[in-house]
Amino acid sequence: MMGYAMANQSTAGVHFRLRARAFIIADNTSRVVFVSTDSCMIFTSVKREVVLALQRKYGNLYSHDNVR
């Protein structure tokens, strides 16, 4: 019976606001981007899309190797 009650639930609005921060560490030869989020995990597909967006905007400055 409990599963039936949960199936009929509806919600509205934001339950928790998520926060994210990005840090770029660079010197004259290399750079690393570190992103920290409030979520417990980020899927590989999200990272892939972020790297593609960075590459569209900045060219080959960012790749899967230097975005964490």
Please report the pLDDT score of residue 6 as a whole number.
61
The two most distant CA atoms of the chain are separated, in Å, by 63
Nearest to 50 by CA among 38, 33, 28, 31: 33
DSSP 2-25: HHHHHHT----S-SS---EEEEEE
Does an H or E element contain 48, and which?
helix 44-58
Average pLDDT over residues 1-12: 62
Report pLDDT digits (tens) over 23-68. Answer: 999 999 999 999 998 888 888 999 999 999 999 999 999 999 999 8
User: For the whole model, what pTM was predicted?
Assistant: 0.67
- Average pLDDT on 7-25 reads 81
